[in-house]
A and B are shown apart, each in its own frame.
Chain A
Amino acid sequence: MKRSLVLAVLVMTAFVTSQAGTISGKVSGVAGESAVYVDTIQGKTFPAPSQQPVIDQKGLMFAPHIVVVQQGTTVEFLNSDSVAHNVFWISIGGNKKLGHNLGTWPKGEKRPFKFDNPGAVPLLCNVHPEMSGYVVVAPTPYSALTDKSGEYKIENVPDGSYTVTAWHEGAKNQSKPVTVAGDSKADFTLSK
Chain B
Amino acid sequence: MDTRHRVSLLFAFILTVVLLTGSSYAIPAFSRQYGTSCSTCHVDFPKLNDFGKAFKDAGFKFPKDDETFIKVPPVMLGAPAQKELWPHTIFPGVIPGLPPISLRFNQFFQVTSNNRNNFNAQLPAGTVGSFIPRTDFQPGLFSIFTGGNFGSDIAFWVDDDISVSGANANGGLGDAYLRFVNVGRFLKMPTDSLTLKVGQFELDLPFTQARGYDISPYDIYTQANIGAVNPAYPQQFVSNSFTLAGPGRGVELSGGHHYGGYRYAIAIVDQNTSGSPPTNYPNVPSGTGGNSGGVGFFSDSNFKDLYGRLAYRFNLERDPASRHEVQAAGATGPRDHTYLTLGTYYLYGRSVQRTSGFLPNGTTATVLTAREPFYRLGGDFDFNYRSLDIYGLYMYGHDNDVLPFIPAGLTGPTGFISGNPATFSGGFIQADYLVYPWMMTILRWDRVGSTADQLNGFLAGSSGAPSTPFFSPFSSVRNRFTPGVQFLIHANIKASFEYQVRPKQVVYAPGTTVQLVSPFRTNTATAALEFVY
Residues of A whose CB lies within 8 Å of any CB of B are 58-61, 81-86, 88, 101, 103-104, 125-130
* Cα separation A85 to B327 with both chains bound (whole Å): 10
Contact A103 B62 (CB under 8 A): no
Contact between A82 and B64, CB atoms less than 8 A apart: yes
Beta-carbon contact of A104 and B35 below 8 Å: no
Q: Which one of A84, A85, A129 contacts B37 once the chains associate, using CB atoms below 8 Å?
A: A129
Contacts of B63 in A (CB 8 A): 82
Task: Note all chain A residues with C-beta closer than 8 A to B471.
Answer: none
Known: A88-B333, A104-B334. A59 touches B71 (CB 8 A): yes
Kindly state whether residue B39 has any CB partner on chain A within 8 Å.
yes
Known contacts A58-B68, A82-B65: does B329 contact A128 (CB below 8 Å)?
no
3 closest A-B pairs (Cβ-Cβ)? Answer: A86-B333, A84-B334, A82-B64
- Assuming A84-B334, A127-B51, what are 7 further A-B pairs, CB within 8 angstroms? A60-B40, A83-B64, A84-B333, A85-B334, A104-B330, A129-B491, A130-B35
Q: A60-B36, A128-B36, A130-B35 in contact; A81/B68 too (CB < 8 A)?
A: yes
Q: Flag whether B416 is at the interface (Cβ < 8 A).
A: no
- When C-beta atoms are compared, the residue in chain A nearest to B49 turns out to be A127
Report B18-75 residues with CB < 8 Å from chain A CB: 34-37, 39-40, 51, 62-65, 68-69, 71
Residues of B contacting A125 in the complex (Cβ-Cβ under 8 angstroms):
333
Determine whether B325 belongs to the interface, using a CB cutoff of 8 Å to chain A.
yes
Q: Which residues of chain B have a CB within 8 Å of any CB of chain A?
A: 34-37, 39-40, 51, 62-65, 68-69, 71, 325-327, 329-334, 491
B67 nearest in chain A by CB position: A59
**Which A residues are CB-close (under 8 A) to B333?**
84-86, 88, 101, 103-104, 125-127
Does the CB pair A103–B65 fall under 8 Å?
A: no
- Contact check, A130 vs B36: say whether CB atoms are below 8 A apart: yes
B332 touches A130 (CB 8 A): no
CB pair A128–B68 under 8 Å, yes or no, is: no
Min Cβ gap A44→B in Å is 38
Q: How far is the CB of B90 from chain A (nearest CB, A)?
A: 30
Contacts A59-B68, A81-B68 known; A86 to B35 CB distance under 8 Å?
no
Min C-beta distance of B219 to chain A, whole Å: 35
B36 in contact with A88 (CB, 8 Å)? no
Q: State whether A126 touches B65 (Cβ < 8 A).
A: no
A101 vs B51: C-alpha distance when bound (angstroms): 21
What are 18 contact pairs spanning A and B, CB under 8 A?
A60-B36, A81-B68, A83-B51, A84-B334, A86-B332, A101-B331, A101-B332, A103-B329, A103-B331, A103-B332, A103-B333, A104-B334, A127-B334, A128-B37, A128-B40, A129-B39, A129-B491, A130-B35
A8 to chain B, nearest CB (A): 63
Question: Judging by beta carbons under 8 Å apart, are B62 and A82 in contact?
Answer: yes
Residues of A within 8 A of B325 (CB): 84
Complex formed: what's the CA distance from A48 to B35 in Å?
A: 37
Nearest B-chain residue to A105, judged by Cβ: B329
Chain B positions within 8 Å of A81 at CB level = 65, 68-69
Task: Please report the C-alpha to C-alpha distance between residue A83 and residue B69 in the assembled complex, in whole angstroms.
Answer: 10
Q: How far is the CA of A189 from the CA of B64 in the complex (A)?
A: 44
Give Cα A128–Cα B333 distance, bound, in whole angstroms: 11
B69 near A59 with CB under 8 A, answer yes
B334 touches A86 (CB 8 A): yes
A161–B406 alpha-carbon span in the complex (Å)? 111
What residues of chain A lie closer than 8 Å to B326, measured between beta carbons?
Answer: 83-84
In the complex, chain A residues whose CB is within 8 Å of the CB of B329: 84, 103-104
Residue with the greatest number of chain A CB neighbours at <10 A, chosen from B35, B36, B331: B36
CB distance from B337 to the nearest CB of A (A): 12
Query: Which chain B residue has the least Cβ–Cβ distance from A103?
Result: B331
Contact of A60 among B35, B327, B331, B332 (CB under 8 A): B35
In the complex, chain B residues whose CB is within 8 Å of the CB of A84: 325-327, 329, 333-334
Q: When A60-B69, A82-B64, A83-B62 are in contact, do A130 and B37 touch as well, CB less than 8 Å?
A: yes
Closest chain B residue to A101, Cβ basis: B332
Closest to B321 in A: A106
Bound-complex Cα distance A85 to B326 (A)? 12
A103 to chain B, nearest CB (A): 6
How many angstroms from the CA of A81 to the CA of B65 in the assembled complex?
A: 8
Tell me how far the C-beta of A57 lies from the nearest C-beta in chain B, rounded to whole angstroms. Answer: 12
| Bound-complex Cα distance A101 to B491 (A) | 23
Counting chain A CB atoms within 10 Å of each CB, the highest count among B62, B65, B330, B333 belongs to B333
Instruction: Give the shortest distance, in Å, between A159 (CB) and chain B (any CB).
Output: 46
Bound form: Cα–Cα A82–B58 in Å: 14
- Chain B residues contacting A85 (CB-CB under 8 Å) are 333-334
- Least CB distance from A27 to B in Å reads 26
* Inter-subunit contact B68/A127 (CB<8 Å): no
Which residue of chain A has the shortest Cβ distance to B31 in the bound complex?
Answer: A130
Which chain B residues border A104 with CB–CB below 8 Å? 329-330, 333-334
Cβ contacts under 8 Å, A103 to chain B: 329, 331-333
Minimum Cβ distance to chain A for residue B100 (Å): 18
CA separation between A98 and B523, bound complex, in Å?
51
Q: Is A126 touching B332 in the complex (CB atoms < 8 A)?
A: yes
* Complex-state Cα separation, A127 to B55, whole angstroms: 14
CB distance from A111 to the nearest CB of B (A): 13
**Bound Cα distance A22, B217 (Å):** 68
Q: How far is the CA of A103 from the CA of B39 in the complex (A)?
A: 19
Instruction: Please indicate the chain A residues that have their CB under 8 angstroms from the CB of B35 in the complex.
Output: 60-61, 130
Closest B residue to A125 using CB positions: B333
Q: Among B51, B71, B326, B334, find the residue whose CB has the most chain A CB atoms closer than 10 A.
A: B334
| Known A-B contacts A81-B68, A104-B329; A60 and B34 likewise in contact (beta carbons under 8 Å) | yes
Residues in B whose Cβ lies below 8 Å from that of A58: 68
Across the interface, which residues of A come within 8 angstroms of B330, CB to CB?
104
Are A127 and B40 within 8 A (Cβ)?
yes
